[in-house]
Chain A
């Protein structure tokens, strides 16, 4: 239906009437019912929290609302009128915009072009771009969220967090574009943001409250409770509960989400055993790569988790890449069990017994088109070789064994890895390394990014087991809380240098504040 028609609708709508009503929406994917007769409503000027485990259907619901994927049945009513759109453009004309979890930006064009993409409007006159106008309009959006990003900048030159902000600015553009108040869908917008960026974001959401309606999805339950007016909980594709944030807390929320309570020892801190003093598994000495990091030195004992804290650009990512041979260091050396290791390429790192669990598992952790078993043995095919030949029987056994040990939910070990849920994919990209008994060091690059509480807990448990197994682990994490809780020791990096080292024994964990003040 046309925007004008909606205007009439909005005109006659009573104040408290829902701007968006989802009625019995159902959506099937091969092998799974993602949405099962979902019904909910979004009131005007409210922030609606949406929580649930991975695979609970949150993202699917948002995608249906945003016109990315059509629903199989049920209907969506926008401002009292049934919505007829079946693509993103249509949804936007109806006033519904979405910030996507996996970033939806074009790397090779300017920020301005991205923000105005598909809605250049007056910035294109008689088919010709007016660049100054385009940049001006983009700037307006960027100012809304106080993003210090130049509209003329090439998008790929921005940091991940900066891109996330551009993403948000892009969606806010809807405000001007349509003559009704926009409906903004935020799918885990905070996942990769740094602390102060998250603050700006929430400030922004507060502002949106006055002029728009927001659906906010996040795995950080405290965030959700903090920002939302109401919270819907989803499970197995159904809406199972509606809560008032003021009267409920994280534990209750979690209880409903997973059907079991959030155990007191969420991070299994009790499980944390202090490693016996021993020859360090991994010893990094005076590692230097100009313009990336300077003179980085630290030791990691067997069974020890070394957390590296730092903001974007602190150089901690680059250090990890160097450890895995993805980035060559200029000077300094890396010792494994006291012996210097040459890590010019990931291949050599794997040979040396170093594993790397990437943050972006979909494009770096697993191979979607290949089977679970094939993914597991990819890095250590020698485990299932008989002579030169792959022993499928052995491979099957190995795969089954690790599917059980990590409780990976999968129809069969020959199922395509791409069909697994996020949590199970993460377990798989861990299993890929665990199948090797030669593994000495494991680099965990944001191991719980985008995972739900349940999956996170399992990953934490796993980390504890691994340290018992005598593995040395280097951890980069999204949240300080996680870093502190999981690590035995923490080094804080800033501008490519180590600025502080803290011990984090189970008994006496440092406070977040203590770490943060060193970071910034």
Chain B
């Protein structure tokens, strides 16, 4: 059962998690209930593109969830912005202008921090409901006048970055040199993950970081970067820390090319199928990754917005802790790989979808 894994993974969170387990859906019914039915309900994802595995898995999760509600697949709408903020906002705006907004539940992965405020404001005006992942401006909070913005869910980059770093160091015997490959430099998550790495480095005096550069989340760039690292520090690199799996896999290719695969351990984040396979195989030195569990994300956010829309969840009475929180991530290593190597089955997720707060880890409080 996933929740258990989550608990095991993030020991620190146990108490809070237990304390915050599924809310009794006894909130006052809203006017929306009656008028919303299969014909006019819209469950909407606004994501970057289908050309990256992460969002692809996300959508499959969303689709499975919609199905689980017994709604026709035509009720599910997917908006792709191809990394264009203006486009993402425009798409949401048009969406709200072309349908019954009181029966529209939205889940957004904002392209930039900046997009969030514009989107939630529009949604608030239109009377739809939205749940937001990953990105928002530090000073923007759902409880500041947005009772149609159900929750902001993030995954603590500090923790993930820290966890994989620790695993990496462990596999290196806590000594030696590493190189780091960062994500987009102007991306908050990427920065958090890097801070996590630095925390781990402080704790582990034996390990030294030779260099850190950006691979812009991109596999090819990471590949070239790793080659350059290998040339810059021949024979000195004992480990590779990458801010996501995509880049970790790119670096791994470079190591393969240099005949170092398996000798130099690699870690990443996101748990894309490929890295899971590598961890499972265990022969190429892929030590660990972290799952924010895109499949779950797809369903969970829609669920929150949907419940609010149907009046099953009263946003106004929801405690701040539940309107902006870090959800649990799962550290995946050789030990627990078996469970995650295979494709996700909706059945495993129903519980965590029906009780979206199951994966609550900690509140994101202002000034934190």
Whether chain A touches chain B in the assembled complex (some CB pair under 8 Å): no
Chain B residues proximal to chain A, CB less than 8 Å = none
